A and B are shown apart, each in its own frame.
Chain A
Amino acid sequence: MRVQFLWWEGCPSHPEAWQRLHDVLAGLDVHAEVERIEIKTDDDAERWRFPGSPTILIDGQDIAPQAEPVYRLTCRLYFREDGRPSPLPSEATIRRAVQQALARCQDQV
């Protein structure tokens, strides 16, 4: 499983998101190396298809895909399971994406 953590220093949510990602991986007993990628410019944002900080990709797929993403340096808006807005992906969102990736790996075996 390939995990990439894309972040922009202008948004303060990345340390908590980074910790949350690692907590979920540990909780699922997944030993994946997480590639940490800093997005510094609008060009970086376009190249990495970065809709805001933080963005987590698992096997190249966004854990919370957006219908019409705009790629730029900004904080990213997520929604919790109860519908409340948040600057962080919820643990449930991260866990679901990891479990789906694990299932895809199983299918390929």
Chain B
Amino acid sequence: MLEIGQKGPGFALPGVDGQTYDLEHLLTAHRAVVVIFSCNHCPYVRAWEGRMMQLQDDYRAQGVALVAINANDAVRYPDDNFDAMKARAREMNFNFPYLRDDSQDTARQYGATHTPHGFLLDSSGTLRYRGAIDDNYDDPDAVQHHYLRDALDSVLAGETPTHQTSGAVGCTIKWVG
């Protein structure tokens, strides 16, 4: 698994909007990049999805890009295939790129295990936080620790996040084979 302080492995993955998203370009254009391994079918993702969109809205002006990557086996889980991803992005009007990692190489390189599983990279591409979005999937009003937001605030302020890791909570990534 990618460790705090290591460089996030590069990727160039297709998005549901027809564009290819390259980590290097994202880092060049932003002060921080949040990579969230995500998917369509997982109820934990569904529960956190609105908060992912809100986070992108709240931090866009500060130069933060959020990208979601779906690496799930789309044969056994056809509701995670590219067409279904396009439909989900339309339905939810995602305000972030939603990328397909068919080879699952990117998910493996990052050591992603669950959906959602977040990785916060600073402008140099260094991992500064890894884990859950916050500590309460079921009730946004009952969140005690806004892990990802707090880490973003720290990184944007040039500080070390108080919580650099937390346990990812969600569905396991559906590996091929």
Contact = CB atoms under 8 A, between A and B. Distances in A.
Interface of A: 10-13, 72, 74-78, 84-88
Interface residues of B, number: 15
Interface of B: 41-44, 46-47, 49, 76-77, 137-138, 169-172
Contact of B44 (A10, A72, A75, A84): A75
A77 B77 contact: no
A72 B43 contact: no
A39 to B, nearest CB: 14
Contact of A86 (B49, B76, B138): B138
B43 A86 contact: yes
A85 B171 CA distance: 14
Nearest to A84: B47
Contact of A85 (B46, B76, B77, B169): B46
28 contacts: A10-B171, A11-B171, A11-B172, A12-B169, A12-B170, A13-B43, A72-B76, A72-B77, A74-B41, A74-B42, A75-B42, A75-B43, A75-B44, A75-B171, A76-B43, A77-B41, A77-B42, A77-B43, A84-B47, A85-B43, A85-B47, A86-B43, A86-B47, A86-B137, A86-B138, A87-B44, A87-B138, A88-B138
Contact of A87 (B49, B76, B77, B137): B137
Contacts of B171: 10-11, 74-75
Contacts of A76: 43
Contacts of B42: 74-75, 77, 87
Contacts of B76: 72
A78 B44 CA distance: 10
Given A72-B77, A87-B42, 20 more contacts: A10-B171, A12-B169, A12-B170, A13-B43, A74-B41, A75-B42, A75-B43, A75-B44, A76-B43, A77-B42, A77-B46, A84-B47, A85-B43, A85-B46, A85-B47, A86-B43, A87-B44, A87-B47, A87-B138, A88-B138
